[in-house]
Amino acid sequence: MSENKFYLRMEGISKAFPGVQALKDVNFYVARGEIHALVGENGAGKTTLMKILTGALSMDSGSVSLKGSQVEVNTPTDAQQLGISMIHQELSLIPNLTVGQNIYLGREPRWKISAFIDWNRLYTDSQDLLSQLDVDVDARAEVGSLSIAQQQMVEVAKAISLNADLIAMDEPTSSLTDRETEVLFDTMRSFKKRGISIIFISHRLEEVFEISDWVTVLRDGSLIGSEPIKDLDEERVVQMMVGRELGEMYPKGDVQRRGVILEVNNLHDGRELSGVSLELYSGEILGVAGLAGAGRTALAETIFGVRPAITGDIELDGSPVKINSPGEAIRLGMGLVPEDRKQQGLFLNRAIRENIVISALGKLSRFSFINFSKADKLAREFAVKLDIRTPSLRQLVRNLSGGNQQKVVIARWLTLNPRVLILDEPTRGIDVGTKVEIHALMNQLAEGGVGVLMVSSDLPEVLGVSDRILVMREGKVVSEFSREHATQDNIMHAATGGKVNNDK
């Protein structure tokens, strides 16, 4: 390997956090104009490596060189000046500012030799940038009013405006629909042609194989391999990531579908749902697919009583029920694993055991006092059952990886033995290994007679896990497919209404 072949060379990078060696002597090379996928399970060190590259974290040892000369990246500003940009997993835009203000934050154009911002130039420049990227967004619009996909494109515009020639993207597709992902990929390909290098972090291997030229795999903070994509296949990458044979990605036993457990008729919430009807059988996994904004989350939340239903009936085990709050849904034997586990699903600053037992406190208490030894026992039982990996159940949930956090949310519902479990994006942002475990768990629940309703934007997951698939569009269920007849194509066809929608 010649010295100057690589645009970026990171060598011997090590970084320790209290109690964990996040990176161990990692080498990472990126060529000019290359889309380089960086993959690994949660906690493998991908984000840490990128944070070091972009100056958000300092390394304990190692060196970084760009275009053959060694550089010091101590702050995000250093990185910017060196032409390195990062698009963070949690979008780092400020919702109350406009698109243009976000793009030029910290380097606002001034009126000639004055202390004042030249708003006209700021907005014309940002609008130019956006149109260069073919993004139909008003530079004066507040970022908070944009869709996630639009915000992502604003982030990309911001990176471009920094004259970045190395852009690191941490899971940019995790909240995009397939169509939005394609738009992003087109943009990435055009950058590549302009000689811009892109580091692409993703848990979705199909995407990695679709877009990348090269793949680097990290595991437990160590470099496992770095190879051109053409020399690899998915199975091999997964094996490198998890360090073992994973078996089948979507194992599926023979399901014994029993009677209808949940029936929903003509559900309206006055906003996103316009008459949804469905039947959920005991012992099945019912997948709900659709584009962002089709009303899938609204459906999950309305059934569970998070949002009020305007009209519509819900029947549980054949008898009509009125669900006006999550509390009532829980008492009826339902559970919801919400879309945003950090905001809606967890008490991040509380211990794992508290998070697990919180919904079961009723049966753990006598005369209003909590029986802590019983609570501990229950928490331990489910932590073991779900293989939540942690040194102690007193550990704060904040410190767990995304996959383990999701297991905690699921464990909480399992303490209540629900009859209906609704999961909204159960594996978003979760590594392959844990993903398989969560899928296996869902299967196990279904086998035990639970009705499982799964909302997911991850089509391979919907296809792989569901017994039956409903497709939603514009607040309605528009199609139903059996497991045998569902394909990526016919689901997308149904979700988009059979035509490619250009304005969203």
Beta strands per DSSP E along 345-501: 365-366, 369-370, 420-424, 451-455, 468-473, 476-482
Q: Which of 46, 408, 21 is nearest to 203 (CA)?
A: 46
| In contact, 258 and 283? CB cutoff 8 Å | yes
Query: Looking at 20, 31, 58, 105, which residue binds another protein (CB under 8 A)?
Result: 105
Rule CB under 8 A: say whether 267 interacts with another protein: no
Residue 384 touching another protein (CB under 8 A): no
Q: Which of 21, 25, 76, 351 binds another protein (CB under 8 A)?
A: 76
Give me the phi and psi of 401, to 5 degrees please.
-75, 165
For another protein, the binding residue among 20, 31, 94, 384 (CB under 8 A) is 94
* Contact between 93 and another protein per CB under 8 A: yes
Q: Which residue spans within 294-415 are E strands per DSSP? A: 311-316, 319-321, 334-337, 365-366, 369-370
Q: Is 474 in the site for another protein (CB under 8 A)?
A: no
Strands 274-281 and 84-87 turn out to be unpaired
* Contact call for residues 358 and 365 (beta carbons, < 8 A): no
Q: Taking the complex as a whole, how short is the minimal distance between the CB of residue 152 and another protein, in angstroms? A: 14
Of 80, 152, 181, 443, the residue at the interface with another protein (CB under 8 A) is 80
Query: At its nearest, how many Å lie between another protein and the CB of residue 238?
Result: 32
Q: Which of 12, 68, 95, 253 binds another protein (CB under 8 A)?
A: 95
By beta-carbon proximity to another protein, the closer residue of 236 and 504 is 504
Q: Of 255, 264, 312, 261, which is closest to residue 418 (Cα–Cα)?
A: 261
- Taking the C-alpha atoms of residue 476 and residue 470, their distance in angstroms, rounded to an integer, is 10
Judged by CB under 8 A, the residue of 16, 71, 141, 396 near another protein is 141
Radius of gyration of the chain (CA): 24
Binders of another protein among residues 37 to 56 (CB under 8 A) are 56
In terms of CB distance, is 77 or 324 closer to another protein?
Answer: 77
CB 58 → another protein: shortest distance, Å?
15
- Candidates 102-110, 182-190, 226-234, 372-380: pick the segment binding another protein (CB under 8 A): 102-110
Residue 1 sits in the site that holds another protein (CB under 8 A): no
Interface residue with another protein among 96, 349, 368, 392 (CB under 8 A) is 96
> CB of residue 96 vs another protein: minimum separation in angstroms?
4
| Pairing mode, strands 311-316 and 260-268 | antiparallel
Residue 162, token pair as written in the block: 């920094």
**Closer residue to another protein, CB minimum distance, 105 or 310:** 105
Q: Which of residues 109-128 bind another protein (CB under 8 A)?
A: 110, 115-117, 119
Point out which span in 4-12, 30-38, 93-101, 219-227 binds another protein (CB under 8 A). Answer: 93-101
Burial 464-495 (b: 16+ CB within 10 A, else e): bbbbbbbbbbebbbbbebebeebeeeebbebb
Residue 131 engages another protein in binding (rule: CB under 8 A) = no
Q: Which amino acid is at 275?
A: G
* CA dist., res. 53 & res. 47, Å (int): 10
What are the backbone angles phi and psi of residue 9, rounded to the nearest 5°? -125, 120
Give the whole-angstrom CA distance, residue 26 versus residue 12. 5
Query: What are residue 17's DSSP bridge partners?
Result: 20
Q: Closest CB to another protein among 136 and 233?
A: 136
Q: Identify residues 142-181 at the interface with another protein (CB under 8 A).
A: 144-145
User: What is the total count of residues that contact another protein (CB under 8 A)?
Assistant: 29
Q: Which residue has the tokens 């501990």?
A: 376
Question: Between 96 and 343, whose beta carbon lies closer to another protein?
Answer: 96
In the list 18, 19, 106, 247, the residue contacting another protein (rule: CB under 8 A) is: 106
Min CB(435)–another protein separation in Å: 28
3-state secondary structure of 437: helix
- Considering beta carbons, is residue 11 or 142 the nearer one to another protein? 142
Q: Could you tell me the smallest distance in angstroms from the CB atom of residue 235 to another protein? A: 37
Residue 227 burial (CB < 10 Å; 0-12/13-18/19+)?
Answer: middle
Q: Which residues make up the interface to another protein (CB under 8 A)? A: 56, 75-77, 80, 88, 92-97, 101-102, 105-108, 110, 115-117, 119, 136-138, 141, 144-145
